[in-house]
Amino acid sequence: MSLEEKVGQLFVLHVYGHHATEPDTADAELNERELGVRTAADVVAKYRPGGLIYFGWAHNTRDPQQIAALSDGVQRAALDGSPGVPLLLSVDQEHGVVARVGAPATLLPGAMALGAGGSADDVREAARIAGAELRALGIHQNYAPSADVNVDPANPVIGVRSFGADPDAVSRFVTAQIEGYRDAGVAPAVKHFPGHGDTGTDSHSALPYIHHSREQWEELDAPPFRAALATGVDVVMTAHIVVPALDPALDPATLSHPVVTGILREQLGHDGVVVTDSLSMRGVRTKYGDGRVAVLAIKAGVDQLLHPPQPELAWNAVIQAVREGELTEARIDESVRRILRLKEKLGLFAPEQAYTDAGTVAATVGSDAHRAAADRIAERTTTLLRDESGLLPLSPDTHGRVLVLGADPVSPSGTTGPPTAVLAAALTELGFAATALSTGTEPSPEAVEKALAEAASGPDAVLVTTYDVAPGSPQHALVTALTSVPDGPPVVIVSVRTPNDVAVLPGVAAALAAYSWTDVELRAAARVLAGEVSPAGRLPVPVPSPDDPGTVLYPVGHGLSYPPYAASR
């Protein structure tokens, strides 16, 4: 390869459009503005990238047949051009709250829900299903699992994307997920090294600091990464975080030679691919320009530059750094060899492996067997946190009229509707007369008044979907108002993100944690509410007091079950 072709292999770019050569007018304009060309195939021809990443907002993931056609089209552009190297096509498909490929693909519980389920076998099966569907779509690399230990319950960026707060449990589930993806022929990328679980800042918008000592890092953050590396995981993703104990220079880990080369490669022994988290995130752009970031990441020991915001600037900066001697061509060659080894391991140099098969897409993506397995796995994740009066399970005979209201956060790609509507529909299928009322994540006083009026109209129970409720917030006001009505119907909350809402809303009759608002987890919550199954989930993180974070109200492992006679069927 020429120098330009080798540098291209280090880049994982995004493209706009649902087709390789025929984008919509708006997509062509966006490609031209950000990438200098009009189509996805043109991007491949211009930059010769080692890979592409798919996003819903880039219109890459409309439906399975379209995704497969896009994969084939860009792969053909890569193989027919110079240097004729297949693309590594990737996506950020963690499931739960992060899902770029949506229905009719199978949507599965996310990491914290799986952590609540407690079964490594379920984690492995979920990854195998997810991987099989991605591979059928021509996607060979998934940016999962998260190996971050959720030390800070208020973590704004990781949260339910973590398996939990116990390093040993996270290690076990990370290992299982890696095995499941590997069985499906997909390369997982364990993330976010050296550990993003104790940050109070979102690295998408700022540069977080983690003030763990080296000893704390070894005890809390390192174990899941050590476990992942013991499996021979092929890819590790870096975090845009500063850990002064690991690098006193205070550079983001993505740009830190002591972290990437010193710890990850030399001390932990990783000789596979290292990929950055998205280089468009503010956390990595606070100290250096976009061109400089690309050069410093490679100097640190990174192989793949993911989603740079100015690809041409970054590409030229790396080439210039080689020509001026700051980077050697031998250093570029090291990364190219690692990337080519991974592509060979995935079978991408064989044409029958590089392209998709229409029959496989139809038979695999969103199959009945996969969807049934997702429902079974989700049933074991729903966690009953409180039910002091023994209200649950609900029965159509005694609580037949149910009002479902509350938060309807923007759904992950492909869910069938707002969470309140999905939960109401699932309860209706189970014999309840359920109606839905969306009050939003920031309900207005008018929305609260309407909810109170509906609650006074005669329902036997009120279910409220809650989303990261803060004391004194509009959601808090809504639930407090509902629980304050004299002789009003019992109020049950279903937390659709973190399980901490139960601590902020002590007046509710019962509280469940679903850990996400995807269809599969809401259907599972409905079956638990109706007594079709007993809640089996156990908290993988502690729930602290909102007034005193050092006081744990609900410890790791907490979760209630129904007595054997309580199930209605």
Q: Which residues pair with 235 in a beta bridge?
A: 189, 273
The third-level CATH classification (topology) of the domain covering 3-106+194-348 is TIM Barrel (3.20.20)
Catalytic positions are: 204, 277
Give residue 197's pLDDT.
Answer: 66
- Radius of gyration, alpha carbons of the chain: 24
Q: Cα(137)–Cα(125) distance, rounded to whole angstroms? A: 19
Contacts of 282 (CB under 8 A, 6+ apart): 203, 204, 205, 206, 207
Count other C-beta atoms under 10 Å from residue 28's C-beta. 17
Residue with tokens 């606070």: 286
Choose among 102, 103, 92, 23: nearest CA to 51. Answer: 92
227's tokens: 């476990």
CATH of segment(s) 382-566:
3.40.50.1700
Choose among 520, 526, 473: nearest CA to 501. Answer: 473
Query: Where, residue-wise, is CATH 3.20.20.300 in the chain?
Result: 3-106+194-348
Count other C-beta atoms under 10 Å from residue 473's C-beta. 15
Contact by Cβ (8 Å): 207, 240: yes
DSSP 253: G
Low-confidence ranges of the chain (pLDDT < 70): 153-157, 197-206, 282-283, 411-415, 564-569
Query: Where, residue-wise, is CATH 3.40.50.1700 in the chain?
Result: 382-566
DSSP 457: T
Q: What is the pLDDT of residues 141-190, one digit of tens each?
A: 999 999 999 987 666 668 899 999 999 999 999 999 999 999 999 999 99
Give residue 568's pLDDT.
Answer: 43
DSSP 192: E
Give the number of C-alpha atoms closer than 13 A to the C-alpha of residue 242, restricted to the C-beta side. 15
